[in-house]
């Protein structure tokens, strides 16, 4: 996948057939920003030998880490989610439906990413990359995603030939929010849905410095919304730890949409503000997603897109 960076370069992505083996980009995506870095934790030693300066520089662990922020396009989002700790089921064709559900695997998924970033005509190729966490939010009506990336290595690669998508990002008129599910609400002006899989680069002693793989830990799913406060019914449910299903649908058509379904969300905080006399009463609510024993999963992300991705 490739992302344009301020008109000065591009960001590209490919699903790796072999984990950690660089592939040239097969998908391209305009992005807002990126902070991918190659980290080399060089170790400087100071043996006791009458010298106050570091004496040796010893190779330390290496990894790739950083964030990529982009305006959501359904096809490119489906592509990137293949490298998250998610299980995917694909149906349909030529327009496809991808249903991503959480996995409890401890190690990175079978599919890893190669990311290619061209910064001012200088090419950086990152291999063995996975999605360690992500955040969906709304910026002035535009549906935006930020993905946290962890990877193994970086090298100098050939410049890609970019083919950018022409799809228009989702805008302010594309949202349906149900709190709880089947109860559409129209008093939400912003939301942030985040997934943190506690990803961590893991090293093993051998003949290589780069991370051997990326492991995952405990999962945290949170949803923050701001709503008009009209009665204490919902507030009382917060005090009673009442779980709710919450559905967020961002859609331009039945074949171009993203649905985020949190199966069992419990309000972890509820703040009510009245800033001045006669002001609108607002509620800032944060939900924590929890495991649903009935469905054996905490959430589901469904992407309808016109792209065929090999699972």
Identify the pLDDT of residue 278: 66
What distances in angstroms separate CA 39 from CA 108, 135, 305, one per listed residue?
19, 23, 35
The C-alpha angle 216, 221, 227, rounded to 5 degrees, equals: 160
75: phi then psi, degrees, rounded to nearest 5? -65, -45
Residue 208 predicted with pLDDT over 70:
yes
- Has this prediction a pTM greater than 0.75? yes
Distance in angstroms (rounded) separating the CA atoms of residues 147 and 66: 8
Distance in angstroms (rounded) separating the CA atoms of residues 290 and 105: 17
Residue 193 lies in a domain: yes
Pairing relation of β-strands 112-119 and 27-28?
A: unpaired
Give mean pLDDT, residues 269-293: 85
pLDDT band (50, 70, 90) for residue 50: confident
Residue 34 lies in a domain: yes
Give mean pLDDT, residues 111-116: 92
Domain that holds residue 129: 9-39+60-305
Evaluate whether 113 touches 83 at the Cβ level (below 8 Å): yes
Identify the pLDDT of residue 206: 83
Residue 15 lies in a domain: yes
Identify the pLDDT of residue 41: 84
Give mean pLDDT, residues 200-211: 86
Residue 211 lies in a domain: yes
Identify the pLDDT of residue 6: 37
Identify the pLDDT of residue 9: 56
Give mean pLDDT, residues 173-182: 94
Give mean pLDDT, residues 243-249: 94
Q: For the segment 147-167, what is each residue's pLDDT rounded down to a tens digit?
A: 999 999 998 888 888 888 889
Give mean pLDDT, residues 100-106: 94
Mean pLDDT rounded to a whole number for the chain? 89
Percent of the chain clearing pLDDT 70 (strictly above): 95
Identify the pLDDT of residue 238: 83
Residue 207 lies in a domain: yes
pLDDT band (50, 70, 90) for residue 107: confident
Distance in angstroms (rounded) separating the CA atoms of residues 65 and 289: 26
pLDDT band (50, 70, 90) for residue 1: very low
Distance in angstroms (rounded) separating the CA atoms of residues 191 and 189: 7
- Give me the residues paired with residue 190 across strands: 226
Identify the pLDDT of residue 311: 59
Residue 310 lies in a domain: no
- Retrieve residue 184's tokens: 């559409």
Residue 179 predicted with pLDDT over 80:
yes
CB atoms within 10 A of CB 200: 14
Residue 45 lies in a domain: no
pLDDT band (50, 70, 90) for residue 64: very high
Residue 44 lies in a domain: no
Domain total in the chain: 1
């Amino acid at each position: 996948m490739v992302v344009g960076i301020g008109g000065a370069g591009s960001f590209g992505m490919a699903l790796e057939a072999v984990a950690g083996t660089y592939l040239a980009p097969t998908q391209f995506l305009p992005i807002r920003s990126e902070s991918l870095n190659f980290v080399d934790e060089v170790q400087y030693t100071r043996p006791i030998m009458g010298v106050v300066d570091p004496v040796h520089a010893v190779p330390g662990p290496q990894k790739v880490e950083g964030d990529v922020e982009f305006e959501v396009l359904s096809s490119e989002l489906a592509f990137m989610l293949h490298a998250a700790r998610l299980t995917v089921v694909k149906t349909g064709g030529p327009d496809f439906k991808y249903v991503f559900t959480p996995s409890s695997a401890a190690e990175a998924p079978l599919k890893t990413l190669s990311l290619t970033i061209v910064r001012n005509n200088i090419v950086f190729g990152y291999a063995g990359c996975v999605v360690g966490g992500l955040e969906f939010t709304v910026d002035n009506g535009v549906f935006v995603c930020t993905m946290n990336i962890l990877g193994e290595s970086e090298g100098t690669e050939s410049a890609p030939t970019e083919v950018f998508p022409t799809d228009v990002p989702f805008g302010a008129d594309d949202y349906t929010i149900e709190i709880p599910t089947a109860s559409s609400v129209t008093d939400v002006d912003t939301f942030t849905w985040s997934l943190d899989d506690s990803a961590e680069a893991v090293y093993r002693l051998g003949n290589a410095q780069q991370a051997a793989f990326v492991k995952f830990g405990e999962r945290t799913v949170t949803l923050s919304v701001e709503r008009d406060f009209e009665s204490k019914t919902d507030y009382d449910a917060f005090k009673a730890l009442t779980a709710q299903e919450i559905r967020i649908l961002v859609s331009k058509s039945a074949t171009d949409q993203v649905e985020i379904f949190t199966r069992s969300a419990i309000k972890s905080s509820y703040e009510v503000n009245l800033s001045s006399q006669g002001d609108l009463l607002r509620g800032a609510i944060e939900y924590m997603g929890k495991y649903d024993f009935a469905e054996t999963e905490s959430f589901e992300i469904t992407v309808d897109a016109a792209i065929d991705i090999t699972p």
